[in-house]
Structure 1
Amino acid sequence: MPIPYRLLFFLDNATTSIIEIKRLDLPDEPDRGKVYAWLLFDKASQALTKLDFVAMNSQPEAEERQFAQGQLRFSLREATFQPAASPADDEALLVCPPTDLPPALAAAVDTYLQAL
């Protein structure tokens, strides 16, 4: 049985998707790290990686999230992910409506959630 979740953010380009999800099966869970997850999906390898949250900053013009794997900055229309391992390799993404995920990404999320 699939674990229910809500898609909060969906950032996408030709090679990568970055999403934030909120699990809906843990309503009274005090640990936000168990309820919310940022996930990076590599389209070529079909690999899904959980981004390890470090900090966030909200500004009127953009949101910022710091992860162990890199830094994400996004506005209402566009985003940039700067990997920690190669800071010069910024990745530009578009902010997409948080609606249905592409089938391969949805399957990867379901597999990830089932493995928890």
Structure 2
Amino acid sequence: MKTSMVNPLESLYFLESADFYLVEIKRNDLDEQAPISDKFKWLKIEKHALAITELTFSSMDSSLEIEERYFKEGFLKFNKEDGTFIEKYNLAQYALQNRSNEELPNELWILIKAMLIKTAV
């Protein structure tokens, strides 16, 4: 019997500002009954420190042209080319480039896997 190796993580959205990346990751290694909040994760990755913060997802809105995501930490609005992330209380706004059609850099995959996938020893 052949077993197919499924990639445990999949990048759904990949946005970049001058200071950080915003990435939505889908976990394919979880049971079908796992909560949706465990299967889909939005991560903010600081470029210089390579530190990852998980954003706390609240809700979303989607249309043919515009995607919107609401988090405890702020608001994200983007289209196929670019977007804006507004921190909570409008403390700062960041212009983003949508790079979702590109592969995530390998160094980001390494960080994300180390954070999300716990290896049994």
TM over 0.5: yes
**Matched residues in 2 for 1:15 and 1:89: separation?**
12
Number of the residue aligned with 1:91: 94
Of the candidates 32, 35, 46, which is equivalent to residue 31 of structure 1? 35
Q: Secondary structure at the match of 2:103?
A: coil
Q: Which has the larger radius of gyration?
A: 2
1:20 paired residue number: 24
Inter-partner Cα distance in structure 2 for 1:92 and 1:115: 33
Structure 1 segment 34-113 matched on structure 2, within 5 A: 34-84=38-88, 87-113=90-116
Deviation at 1:99, TM superposition (A): 4.0
Q: Aligned residue pairs: how many?
A: 113
Unaligned regions of 5+ residues in structure 1, if any? none
The TM-score normalised by the length of structure 1 is 0.87
TM-score w.r.t. structure 2 length? Answer: 0.84
Letter in 2 for 1:23: R
Q: How far apart in 2 are the matches of 1:70 and 1:79?
A: 13
SS at match of 1:106: helix
Percent identity of the aligned residues? 32
CA distance in 1, matches of 2:33, 2:55: 20
Could you say if the C-alpha distance between residues 93 and 65 of structure 1 is closer, same or farther in structure 2, counting changes exceeding 3 Å? same
